[in-house]
Amino acid sequence: MSFVWTIAEQYDGHLKAVSFELLSRGRALADKLETKLASVLIGDGVTEEQMEELIRHGADEVYSVQDPRLARFVCESYSNVLSHLIKTYRPSIILAAATSTGRTLMPHVAVRVHTGLTADCTELDIEEGTGNLLQTRPAIGGNIMATIKTPDHRPQMATVRPKSSRPLPEDPSRTGKIIAVPVDDAHIDTRITVTGYRTDVEDFVNIEEAEMVAAGGRGMKKAENFALLRGIAEEFSGVVGASRDAVDRGWIGYPHQIGLSGKTISPRLYIGAGISGSIQHLAGIKTSETIVSINTDPEASLHKVADFGIVGDLFEVLPELKRRLAERNRTEDPRQEANR
Amino acid sequence: MDIIVPIKQVPETSNVKMDPETGTMLRAGVETVVNPLDLYAIETAIRLKELHGGTVTAVTMGPPPAEKALREAIAMGCDTGVLISDRKFGGADTWATSYTIAQAIRAIGPYDLIIAGERATDGDTAQVGPGIASWLDIPLATYVAAITAVEPGSSGTGSSSAPDASGALIVERLVEEGYQILKVPMPALLTVVKEIASPRLPTLRGKKRAKATELPLYNTENMDLDPAFLGLKGSPTKVVKIATPRVTRGGTVVHAGDEEGVVTAVDQLIAFLESRGLVPAAGASTGGRP
């Protein structure tokens, strides 16, 4: 019996990176509790080899619930399946990703199984003595850190932001069990139909799962200047983000927006250029691992929360930074050279 | 089409005080506004009403002053508002809140659609919308960025008693891969993102109407509620500690100044990124990019 579960996510039969990130969180908790860690995979077309990868990254067991009718995320069906698994196997802790799927599925399940759920935890720990899960999350725009527990209900459930933890290195010696769970027809909800996906959206970005984000604000002055940020992002295999100001001016699309009315991100590196750093924007970037700020105004709030700030003109700093990074990346990898 | 919009009153500034005993927010003396992300839900509901007829009812749960949020919603164009308020609801987490709001919605009567904001800017959980759908057992579509079609039901627009007579919506959900396209039969619950519409401002006429509108109060006296599911006591989660995180990171700030200064500043930035392993060390030839 496994006491700690993580919810693996898949798209189109491929496991998503968050599935592995969650395992490193789950492994730490399972080890502390001296219990097993299982990954729950609901979907379709995920191969045994891929599930073995979950085991090599920390899982002891994989519950695989696969069916063509579960290929695409439909909250009601996934909720029926997961609620049933919970009632059958009674895990103590469940961790899910704070993705569009996790943030939809988990509150739906919490109601069904009558338990608590804490969103967007940045820290998870086990309370001495009780063995309760301590769930710490930023709230009120990141102004406070609240530690929350679910003392009297099980499972204890939490979501964790993508990129806020790194997967464990692959351990080829790890072994585990893959348990195929048959799908009960009664769990498939046919009310909603997924008619398709629109994935060829121009300038679309999955900003929450990016390792690096180069963001621009009002100081970018116009839409065309975002090319400077694209140039920087490219050198880190990152993506471009924006403040609300820049989005509201129509310089870049809403999927790029960071902050209270946009996305909250936790990349390894965030570079903000021409962003003053409103409370709303800072709330969206506070959990980034490294923050770099570029702004002509020495008093800009972003400089105050930055790990490294440059008081200077972004139109001079960004091209110089791009030139230097491109030069380094060219000498790093001759294959890149051949591609240019 | 009869639409219900659950909204939340949130503090306007970020200078919020917390009760160290209960770990819940102290609301006294703080300016409040309608949760900015709820404005997109209100706007979407009003537009649907303008196109298809029906009514829009805003509901909010909170202390009595939360009725101000309902009046703001009416000033924008909602027809009426319902205040869900009782001391026994205080300190509710998202589980208990979604239960209480779901019971209020049952009490309001037949509806075609519930439209909620993506999340509130204070709690920032995005859990109450999906929770309400789960309690009511109606189809849920979160992160809706567009409603591309409204397919009328057999009974036409307006409230309907038979659930399948309500028609369906074609919606696009903003997800990690792009947009997921769904056909959602009504009654259903949608949570919407900013992309869906640009909220209108309240009109003078709307404000006058808002002032004159009587707002029904729902409480433990007139609602069908399980007392074990209410407020702080009925909440599965408990706040055990509140801490104020450090605001600054004590980082380095360099001044670029002139052209030479820019080169030096970028030099220092690259050395810093190198020290954090965010760019490979100079001269290393490990292949691959960071």
> Considering the entire predicted model, what is its pTM?
0.89
What pLDDT, on the 0 to 100 scale, is given for residue B204?
96
Number of domains in chain B: 2
B24 within a domain of the structure (yes/no):
yes
B234 within a domain of the structure (yes/no):
no
Q: How far apart are CA B65 and CA B259, in angstroms?
A: 56
Mean pLDDT over A42-63 rounds to 98
How far separated are the first and last CA of chain A, in Å rounded? 53
Q: What percent of chain A stands above pLDDT 70?
A: 96
pLDDT-derived band at B289 (thresholds 50, 70, 90) equals very low
Mean pLDDT of chain A: 93
Mutate which of B125, B143, B226, B263 to test chain A, going by most A C-beta atoms within 10 A?
B125
The b/e string for B49-61 (b: 16+ C-beta within 10 A; e otherwise) is beebebbbbbbbb
Based on the domain organization, do B214 and B142 belong to the same domain? yes
Q: Which residue(s) pair with B151 in the sheet?
A: B168
| B140–A262 CB contact, under 8 Å | no
Helix (H) or strand (E) holding A340: none
At A298, phi and psi to the nearest 5?
-65, -20
Q: Does residue A40 surpass a pLDDT of 50?
A: yes
Nearest-by-Cβ selection for A117 from B127, B273, B289: B127
Mean pLDDT over A110-120 rounds to 97
CATH number at residue B8: 3.40.50.620
Residue of B nearest to A331 (CA): B285
| B273–A269 CB contact, under 8 Å | yes
The strands making up B238-243's β-sheet, listed across from edge to edge, are A123-126, A133-139, A144-149, B238-243
Q: Does residue A210 surpass a pLDDT of 70?
A: yes
Nearest-by-Cβ selection for B236 from A105, A150, A321: A150
pLDDT-derived band at A19 (thresholds 50, 70, 90) equals very high
pLDDT tens digits along A263-272: 989 999 999 9
Residues of chain B neighbouring A115 (CB-CB closer than 8 A): 95, 236
| Structural domain harbouring B213 | 2-229
Do A256 and A228 touch, CB atoms closer than 8 A?
Answer: no
Do B82 and B215 touch, CB atoms closer than 8 A?
Answer: yes
Based on the domain organization, do B147 and B264 belong to the same domain? no
A148-152, A196-200, B52-56: lowest mean pLDDT where? A196-200
What pLDDT, on the 0 to 100 scale, is given for residue B46?
98
Based on the domain organization, do B264 and B221 belong to the same domain? no
Nearest-by-Cβ selection for A306 from B133, B181, B251: B251
> Which single residue is written with the structure tokens 């809403």?
A254
A1-5, A199-203, A284-288, B217-221: lowest mean pLDDT where? A1-5
Residues of chain B neighbouring A199 (CB-CB closer than 8 A): 177-179
Q: Does residue A336 surpass a pLDDT of 70?
A: no
Residue of B nearest to A139 (CA): B123
| B254–A310 CB contact, under 8 Å | yes
Residue B129: half-sphere exposure toward Cβ, Cα within 13 Å: 36
Q: Does residue B157 surpass a pLDDT of 50?
A: no
Q: Does residue A334 surpass a pLDDT of 70?
A: no
Q: Does residue B287 surpass a pLDDT of 90?
A: no
pLDDT tens digits along A220-229: 999 999 999 9
What pLDDT, on the 0 to 100 scale, is given for residue B91?
96
- Nearest-Cα distance to chain A for B143, in Å, is 7
Residue of B nearest to A76 (CA): B139
Based on the domain organization, do B57 and B182 belong to the same domain? yes
Based on the domain organization, do B203 and B264 belong to the same domain? no
| B139–A335 CB contact, under 8 Å | no
Nearest-by-Cβ selection for A310 from B25, B174, B269: B269
Contacts of B16 (CB under 8 A, 6+ apart): A140, A143, A144, B25, B26, B30, B122
pLDDT-derived band at B18 (thresholds 50, 70, 90) equals low
Based on the domain organization, do B206 and B123 belong to the same domain? yes
pLDDT tens digits along B78-94: 999 999 999 999 999 99
Mean pLDDT over A70-76 rounds to 97
- Nearest-Cα distance to chain A for B41, in Å, is 13
| B181–A198 CB contact, under 8 Å | yes
- CA-wise closest residue to A116 among B119, B98, B142: B98
Q: Does residue A312 surpass a pLDDT of 70?
A: yes
Most confident of A274-288, B30-44, B217-231: B217-231
CA distance readout (Å), B94 to A145, A146, A160, B49: 17, 15, 17, 29
B244 within a domain of the structure (yes/no):
no
B238 within a domain of the structure (yes/no):
no
ipTM exceeding cut-off 0.85 for this assembly: yes
Can you tell me whether residue B148 is helix, strand or coil?
strand
B51 within a domain of the structure (yes/no):
yes
Residues of chain A neighbouring B174 (CB-CB closer than 8 A): 100, 255
| A150–B237 CB contact, under 8 Å | yes
pLDDT-derived band at B285 (thresholds 50, 70, 90) equals very low
Nearest-by-Cβ selection for A308 from B134, B242, B272: B272
pLDDT-derived band at A74 (thresholds 50, 70, 90) equals very high
B153 within a domain of the structure (yes/no):
yes
Contacts of B233 (CB under 8 A, 6+ apart): none
Q: Does residue A105 surpass a pLDDT of 60?
A: yes
At A78, phi and psi to the nearest 5?
-60, -40
| B181–A194 CB contact, under 8 Å | yes
| B284–A332 CB contact, under 8 Å | yes
* Domains of chain A, each with CATH number or no CATH: 4-187 (3.40.50.620), 207-339 (3.40.50.1220)
- CA-wise closest residue to A261 among B202, B24, B192: B192
Q: Which residue(s) pair with A5 in the sheet?
A: A38, A94
Based on the domain organization, do B159 and B268 belong to the same domain? no
The first and second tokens of residue B153, run together, are 């039901």
| A193–B128 CB contact, under 8 Å | no
Q: How far apart are CA B178 and CA A205, in angstroms?
A: 8
Q: Does residue B288 surpass a pLDDT of 70?
A: no
| B236–A146 CB contact, under 8 Å | no
Based on the domain organization, do B256 and B223 belong to the same domain? no
Mean pLDDT over B25-53 rounds to 89
Q: How far apart are CA B123 and CA B46, in angstroms?
A: 26
| A119–B37 CB contact, under 8 Å | no
A185-194, A274-283, B40-49, B58-67: lowest mean pLDDT where? A274-283
Based on the domain organization, do B145 and B117 belong to the same domain? yes
What pLDDT, on the 0 to 100 scale, is given for residue B178?
93
Nearest-by-Cβ selection for A324 from B128, B182, B270: B270
| B247–A305 CB contact, under 8 Å | yes
pLDDT tens digits along A146-162: 999 999 999 999 999 88
Based on the domain organization, do B40 and B102 belong to the same domain? yes
DSSP annotation string for A103-157: HHHHHHHHHHHT--EEEEESEEEE-TTT-PEEEEEEETTTTEEEEEE-SSSSSEE
Mean pLDDT of chain B: 89
Based on the domain organization, do B172 and B285 belong to the same domain? no
pLDDT tens digits along B233-263: 999 999 999 887 766 688 999 999 888 899 9
Residues of chain A neighbouring B145 (CB-CB closer than 8 A): 254
What pLDDT, on the 0 to 100 scale, is given for residue A99?
95
Residues of chain B neighbouring A208 (CB-CB closer than 8 A): 176
Nearest-by-Cβ selection for A197 from B178, B235, B280: B178
Residues of chain A neighbouring B265 (CB-CB closer than 8 A): 310, 312, 317
Based on the domain organization, do B255 and B112 belong to the same domain? no
CA B162 to chain CA centroid, Å, is 29
Residues of chain B neighbouring A149 (CB-CB closer than 8 A): 237-238, 240
Q: How far apart are CA A249 and CA A243, in angstroms?
A: 10
